């Protein structure tokens, strides 16, 4: 470690706060700037301690960690924020991620891993409890298509749909595929019926949501 990592901790539960504080203080390479039970003096705290890493609970009296997150990132985007919480619902997880959190640990994480996570975020990693990571990954995977029909759209219909998804007009699509605009109409009509929609926009949204198949 060249320079110690300055950490700022927010956790309303006294025992947990003191426990984590103790650990952080006992760790070489980490300097605990402060440990607060609430995030209401956030801006002042950030200015006073200029932390490298903020470790924060989500559920706290007053402002929540989730609300604090954008403020922290607005103050200094280089601050790495690590959420440490009991909540593992999609809503909160994604709000945290969108808000720029760099890590998301559940409170059942062993202390040693919490410490490790602080080093990880500081080095540019994003430590995550594996159950949280699973939820994140699922948002990338194809929506399963559990009860979906194979090959709902014919090859040509997919070509047309791709055109729509590029924002092309009927005419442009016709040109690109070297077919007449009326043929494009016909195909689109069929696509709409198969996808159970009735406008370009709906078709595009549907196509994006569940990747080409109804």
Partner DNA sequence: CACCAAACCGCATTTTCATGCGATTGTAGG
Partner DNA sequence: CCTACAATCGCATGAAAATGCGGTTTGGTG
The verdict on 165 binding DNA (CB under 7 A) reads: no
Q: Could you tell which of its own copies, DNA, none binds residue 1, using a CB distance below 5 to 8 A set by kind?
A: none
Which among 143, 188, 133 has a CA at the least distance from the CA of 162?
A: 188
CA 93 to chain centre: 7
Segment interacting with DNA, rule: CB under 7 A, options 35-43, 60-68, 105-113, 194-202 = 194-202
CA dihedral 98, 102, 103, 104 (to 10 degrees): -30
Helix extents (H) in the chain: 14-26, 42-49, 65-75, 90-98, 111-122, 130-138, 155-165, 170-177, 181-195, 200-209
Nearest approach in angstroms of CB 168 to DNA is 7
Give the list of residues 6+ apart from residue 26 with CB closer than 8 angstroms, or none: none
Q: Choose between 25 and 180: whose C-beta lies nearer to DNA.
A: 180
- What are φ and ψ of residue 132, in 5° steps? -70, -45
The verdict on 199 binding DNA (CB under 7 A) reads: yes
Question: Looking at residue 57, what DSSP letter applies?
Answer: -
The verdict on 35 binding its own copies (CB under 8 A) reads: no
- What are φ and ψ of residue 32, in 5° steps? -85, 110
The verdict on 171 binding DNA (CB under 7 A) reads: yes
C-alpha–C-alpha distance, residues 158 and 9, integer Å: 52
Q: Which of 77, 144, 155, 209 binds DNA (CB under 7 A)?
A: 155
The verdict on 149 binding DNA (CB under 7 A) reads: no
**By CB under 8 A, what part of segment 138-157 binds its own copies?**
139-142
The verdict on 184 binding its own copies (CB under 8 A) reads: no
In the complex, the residues that contact its own copies under the rule CB under 8 A are: 94, 97-98, 100-103, 117, 120-121, 123-131, 133-134, 136-137, 139-142, 164-167, 169, 197, 199-202, 204-205, 208
In the complex, the residues that contact DNA under the rule CB under 7 A are: 154-157, 169-171, 177, 179-180, 182-183, 185-189, 192, 198-201
């Amino acid at each position: 470690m060249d320079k110690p990592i300055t950490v700022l901790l927010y956790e309303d539960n006294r025992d947990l706060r003191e426990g984590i504080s103790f650990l952080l203080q006992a760790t070489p390479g980490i300097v605990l700037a402060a440990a607060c039970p609430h995030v209401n003096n956030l801006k002042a705290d950030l200015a006073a301690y200029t932390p490298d890493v903020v470790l924060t609970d989500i559920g706290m009296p007053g402002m929540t960690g989730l609300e604090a997150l954008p403020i922290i990132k607005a103050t200094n985007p280089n601050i790495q924020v690590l959420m440490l919480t009991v909540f593992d619902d999609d809503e909160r997880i994604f709000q945290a991620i969108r808000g720029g959190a760099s890590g998301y640990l559940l409170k059942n994480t062993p202390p040693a891993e919490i410490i490790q996570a602080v080093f990880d975020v500081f080095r540019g990693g994003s430590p995550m409890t594996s159950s949280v990571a699973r939820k994140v990954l699922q948002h990338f995977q194809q929506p399963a298509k559990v009860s979906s029909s194979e090959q709902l759209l014919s090859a040509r219909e997919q070509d047309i749909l791709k055109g729509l998804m590029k924002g092309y007009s009927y005419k442009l699509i016709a040109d690109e595929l070297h077919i007449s605009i009326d043929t494009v109409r016909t195909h689109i009509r069929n696509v709409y019926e198969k996808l159970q929609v009735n406008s370009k926009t709906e078709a595009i949204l549907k196509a994006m949501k569940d990747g080409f198949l109804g």
